[in-house]
Amino acid sequence: MAALKVQFCDEFDSGFGWIVDEFMERCSHGLVVDGRVWLVDPLDGDGVEERVRAAGEPAGVLQLLDRHNRDGAELASRFGVEHHVLPREPIPPFEFVSIAGNEVVLWWPDERLIVCADVLGTARYYCAGKERLAVHPLRRLFPPRRQLSAASPTRIFCGHGPGIHEDAEGALGEALSTSRRRIPGQVAAAVRSWRASRRPS
């Protein structure tokens, strides 16, 4: 089977991401701590293993959503590291915020970084109009304001779509406060995005 084609993204001093050019815009991340690389909701793809090993020694795989199996178990086995599914207790330097019974959000206090699986995203079908960040379409009626309102991130990485690197705190506040009233716009944007993805290239 041909390797999945990915584009590397979300580059910063302590990590990187990689994304698939598709309707779902699935995105994965590697977080580098003291020369060790933690993989978050990882997909295997062309050049991923080489990039991880170049960044440092694999430390573990973190799965933030119960159904985000992706290639986490396979990569954990290949790298000889533990596969942590829905971690609740801190794994230094990371903390985890429970969003629901099936999802946690990673918070890295030292970097002021949020990494999420589904609850927030930047993929085209998540966003209404010119939104930079949006609550998952199925969570817009009940956004996780209580769980995330105290966060003050400088970056937000998502499981669907590229990350937010500028005014992340403002983007988070807007996403949480406007999720309900922008539902009609999100539905229209999702339909347009899906239709565009079905057109022959």
Instruction: Tell whether 24 is covered by a domain.
Output: yes
Do 20 and 43 meet the contact criterion of CB atoms below 8 Å apart?
yes
Read off the pLDDT of residues 7-32 as tens digits, 9 standing for 90 and up.
999 999 999 999 999 989 999 999 99
Instruction: Tell whether 194 is covered by a domain.
Output: yes
pLDDT at 189: 72
Instruction: Tell whether 57 is covered by a domain.
Output: yes
Instruction: Tell whether 151 is covered by a domain.
Output: yes
Task: Supply the CATH number for residue 133's domain.
Answer: 3.60.15.10
Read off the pLDDT of residues 112-124 as tens digits, 9 standing for 90 and up.
999 999 999 999 8
Q: What predicted TM-score, i.e. pTM, was given to this entire model?
A: 0.91
d(CA 176, CA 134): 8
Angle ∠(192,5,56) on CA atoms, nearest 5: 125
Total of domains in the chain: 1
Mean pLDDT of 93-110: 96
Percent of the chain past pLDDT 70, that is, above it, reads: 96
Listed in sequence order, the residues at least 6 apart from 69 whose beta carbon sits closer than 8 Å to its beta carbon are: 63
pLDDT at 190: 73
Read off the pLDDT of residues 32-44 as tens digits, 9 standing for 90 and up.
999 999 999 999 9
Instruction: Tell whether 1 is covered by a domain.
Output: no
Read off the pLDDT of residues 149-196 as tens digits, 9 standing for 90 and up.
888 999 999 999 999 999 999 999 999 999 888 887 787 777 777 777
Domain span at residue 80?
Answer: 7-198
Instruction: Tell whether 2 is covered by a domain.
Output: no
Do 161 and 18 meet the contact criterion of CB atoms below 8 Å apart?
no
d(CA 199, CA 195): 7
